[in-house]
Chain A
Amino acid sequence: MNNPEDRSKRKQGSAQGGLNAVLADYAGMLVAVAALITLFSLTTEHFFSPENFRTIANQIPAAIIVATGMTFVLIIAGIDLSVGSVLGFCGAVLGAAIVNWNVHPLLAVLLTCVAGMACGVFNGWVSNKWSVPSFIVTLGMLEIARGGAHLVTRSQTQYIGSAIGGLADASVAGISLPFIIALVIVAAGQLVLSRTVFGRYLIAIGTNEEAVRLSGIDPRPIKVLVFVISGLLAAVAAVIDTSRYQSANPNAGDGFELQAIAAVVIGGTSLMGGRGPVVRSFFGVLIIAVLNAGLASLGVKDEYKRLITGLVIVAAVVLDQYRQRFTAKS
């Protein structure tokens, strides 16, 4: 069984499964997005138009960025329920810094990122130090950050004007800058996961944390870092959203955490940890966004929209189970 020919054969089927494998992996998601677009284009008049696609592309960068952070957290079998509130809090900090404290916009953005990371440090550190499940700690942070957002803005929407408006308006080759930033973050996230030591540790921790520890690696700082990344990405999303609306709303990002989790799960990341390509989460966001826009242009009422979106989430996860069982067999 282990003669020389076999061993040389093994070498050929090696790590770089090649572009084909990657494409096969994403084919299902691509098909799903294409099918939705076709469906809505055929059933409505306005759906298939450049403006409509531009609107979608403008709406989703924040969701994509937050979903990327969420993917990292889910991979280590954690969960971050605070991303929506942290986004709101970071937006509030940004607004207050520019409007009330008269800080230079660039510095204000930096401050916002620090605020997001601080929330992440709290989440990660508390859950590690006292072995509290991240579900609980981030549930606490969900309230803490929302309260903070209201405190900082005194519960009023801060109008910022065009101080950082340039960010959302800028575009490269017709694609908005936020969308490009989101794509870059997804690509970077994917590379970190599949090609770096850090990414390997994340997958290993999500698979068997005790075995990681007994392999001579301390999982704790790595886990804290993951929550810091999630907080930072929520801050980046806050900057993008604030610049788009030209104002900081203390209620921004309300319910965002569940949307992000839904998108990531549609992408096939397991809540049990150890698995989850970032690119698939990107498609998850895309599917939800296209579905929402399509249903809107069909004139579907809000209550039905939610009902349908919910069904799609469940169906997507069930389908993914089948996909996995199928690939496991072949």
Chain B
Amino acid sequence: MDSLLSVSNICKTYAVQVLSNVDFSLRRGEVHALVGENGAGKSTLVKIISGLIRQSAGSMELNGRPFAPGSRMDAEQCGIRTVLQELNLIGNLTVAENLFFTGIPNRFGLIRYHELNKAAAVLLDRFGLTGVNPRMKVSALGIGRQQLLEIAAAMSCESPILIMDEPTAALMDPEVELLFKHIKEKRDNGSSVIYISHRIEEIKRIADRITILRDGCIVGTYNAADIGNDEIINQMVGRSMDQVVERRSQASARIALKAKGLTRRPFFHDVSFELRKGEILGFAGLMGSGRTETMRGIFGADRFESGEIYLDDSQQPVSIKSPRHAVRNGIALLTEDRKEQGLFLPLSLRENITITNIGAVASRIGWINHEHEHAEADDWIGKLDLRCRSPEQKAVELSGGNQQKLVIAKWMFRDCRILIFDEPTRGIDVGAKVEIYKLLNNLSERGKAIIMVSSELNELMALCDRIAVMSAGKLAGVFDRGSWSQEILMEAAFSEYLTGERRNPQSPLDEGKDETGPVNHETSNLS
């Protein structure tokens, strides 16, 4: 088979070498997966191919001719489209404008909105984003939908090479299925795809060949059919490791937080649940089902209209007006969007970690003890196995997964008693995921109450004592360990969308508005 793109002896050095003598070739009409631990150099490699950064040494060939893109534009003109790991949409522009950003239809510079929005609607439909209005501002969408938008924009071009860096990190199964359908279509039309993901099962399903990277070096390239899951993981981490984390339920009877009738139209409606000390409560649901908004409401990041929150066994509701109040009451929220809402990218890891509780490393009058601060930061970096040169390194220089660990470190430093994790394992490799599960287990053993919002049902089912499922802004049901299965949970996640046919298909965000009562998950069906 002829090779479309080949990369030979590529090296990249920042302060240290992050890629060493990488050889890699992409054939025509194949899906080629790139796997490796956080910080292995996957994103760096695809950024070189797509013209975002320059290699320190080595060369590339495209169609047998030397290829040295000077910019992303250059690479795109040569037929290489990329979906980057970090979202790159412009929040203030509409969905349609973002989708066709490089080719907005216009006449003498005037945008032809009618044409633009119509084309956008067609594209949104193809990617299962039927509910999204093309005129909506992108910043109003959650990261899951933003991710789908980026994918849709990239896939709408007829480019022979498509690169996707962790496209599914924020997606749930139905969207992943849809994505795979489109990838397969592309491949059957002769396009090639470079696909990066930490979900091994996904890779086994979609990839024709798999290349494994470890610490910046190629370990090997295999036919997907010839290599088992365990073997892939062993090659990635360089040793064998156990992947199962046993959850011994230890929730106490004492309540840590009780939510009653929380409502903020159109995002969530009449959400009530209890969270116990030492419990891990999962929140499942489809994209836009209101999980993130509910959590932001509890944390005081947005105000909700009605409903009450009780802490501990108190009969008096607490009013949480701002995140500051929330943190004072011992509630922490790890936001899903680490780049915009979690991190200070140009600042050091040290400064990122201690911001939540800087008083702990400062004197009464606010004088920071730098040695103490450095040591504390270093401590958490070690505990979370965050790969970096030093706590003084800037957050922006970390790989995606390590940035995610940094968000976790930041909140661990505050030591709150109620921890809300919104997609805590987004972009984290298999080994590190297990470490995070262990961390969550430990925290709950120490009596912390944990809410975990995740789009990966598997991890929720492995880790949680109970799983609450949200559907169209409502709580469709809370399931105990033992009473759930993948099917039951998915059914609950879809329930409100199937019964609420009256809703306006143009705006899924209005779903919370219809007045259908909570639907019993057992009576709803998927027909």
Contact = CB atoms under 8 A, between A and B. Distances in A.
B389 A10 contact: yes
A14 interface: yes
B344 A204 contact: yes
28 contacts: A1-B39, A1-B215, A2-B382, A2-B385, A7-B378, A10-B389, A13-B392, A15-B350, A15-B370, A15-B391, A15-B392, A196-B367, A197-B366, A200-B355, A201-B358, A204-B344, A204-B355, A207-B344, A208-B340, A208-B345, A210-B340, A213-B301, A213-B322, A214-B335, A216-B323, A216-B332, A274-B346, A274-B347
A60 B124 CA distance: 61
B326 A215 contact: no
B374 A15 contact: yes
A226 to B, nearest CB: 15
Among A11, A200, A212, chain B packs the most CB atoms within 10 A around the CB of: A200
Nearest to A270: B346
B522 interface: no
Nearest to A213: B323
B414 interface: yes
B487 interface: no
A2 B345 CA distance: 22
Per CB-CB distance, the 6 closest pairs between chain A and chain B, nearest first, are: A216-B327, A15-B370, A197-B366, A10-B390, A207-B344, A15-B374
A218 interface: yes
A216 B392 contact: no
Contacts of A14: 370-371, 374, 390-392
B448 to A, nearest CB: 17
B128 interface: no
B270 interface: no
Given A7-B378, A16-B371, A214-B301, 9 more contacts: A2-B382, A15-B371, A15-B392, A198-B366, A200-B368, A201-B358, A204-B347, A215-B410, A217-B323
B356 A216 contact: yes
Interface string B176-204: 00000000000000000000000000000
A279 interface: no
B316 interface: no
B344 A208 contact: yes
Contacts of A216: 323-324, 326-328, 332, 356, 414
A203 interface: yes
Interface string B341-364: 111111100110001101100100
Interface residues of B, number: 46
Interface of B: 39, 215, 299, 301, 322-324, 326-328, 332-333, 335, 340-347, 350-351, 355-356, 358-359, 362, 366-368, 370-371, 373-375, 378, 382, 385, 387, 389-392, 410, 414
Contacts of B301: 213-214
A214 B323 contact: yes
B358 A214 contact: no
A57 to B, nearest CB: 31
B385 A196 contact: no
A207 B347 contact: yes
B310 to A, nearest CB: 20
Contacts of A2: 382, 385, 387
Contact of B356 (A7, A207, A215): A215
Given A1-B387, A197-B358, A200-B355, A16 B370 contact: yes
B378 A211 contact: no
A7 B389 CA distance: 9
B342 A211 contact: yes
Interface residues of A, number: 30
A127 to B, nearest CB: 19
A129 interface: no
A195 interface: yes
Among A210, A211, A214, A218, chain B packs the most CB atoms within 10 A around the CB of: A214
Interface string A4-31: 0001001101111000000000000000
Contact of B355 (A195, A210, A212, A218): A212
A211 B326 CA distance: 15
Contact of B358 (A10, A200, A218): A200
Contacts of B328: 216
A197 B359 contact: yes
A201 B366 CA distance: 11
B378 A10 contact: yes
B324 A211 contact: no
B341 A210 contact: yes
B389 to A, nearest CB: 7
Given A16-B370, A214-B333, A204 B351 contact: yes
Contacts of A195: 367-368, 370
B351 A208 contact: no
B324 A217 contact: yes
Interface string A167-211: 000000000000000000000000000011110110110011011
Contacts of B374: 11, 14-15
A25 to B, nearest CB: 14
Nearest to A200: B358
Contacts of A213: 301, 322-323
Contact of B346 (A198, A207, A215): A207
A200 B328 CA distance: 20
B323 A200 contact: no
A24 to B, nearest CB: 15
Nearest to B340: A210
A188 B452 CA distance: 45
Contacts of B333: 214
A15 B324 CA distance: 28
A217 B354 CA distance: 12
Contacts of B343: 208, 211
Given A2-B385, A216-B326, A211 B391 contact: no
A204 to B, nearest CB: 6
Nearest to B396: A328
Contacts of A7: 378, 382
Nearest to B344: A207
A195 B370 CA distance: 8
Contacts of B351: 200, 203-204
Contacts of B378: 7, 10-11
Given A15-B392, A211-B342, A197 B362 contact: yes
Contacts of B362: 196-197
Interface in A209-231: 210-218
Interface string A259-284: 00000000000000011000000000
Contacts of A212: 355
A87 B273 CA distance: 57
B324 A214 contact: no
Among A15, A196, A197, A198, chain B packs the most CB atoms within 10 A around the CB of: A15
A148 B502 CA distance: 62
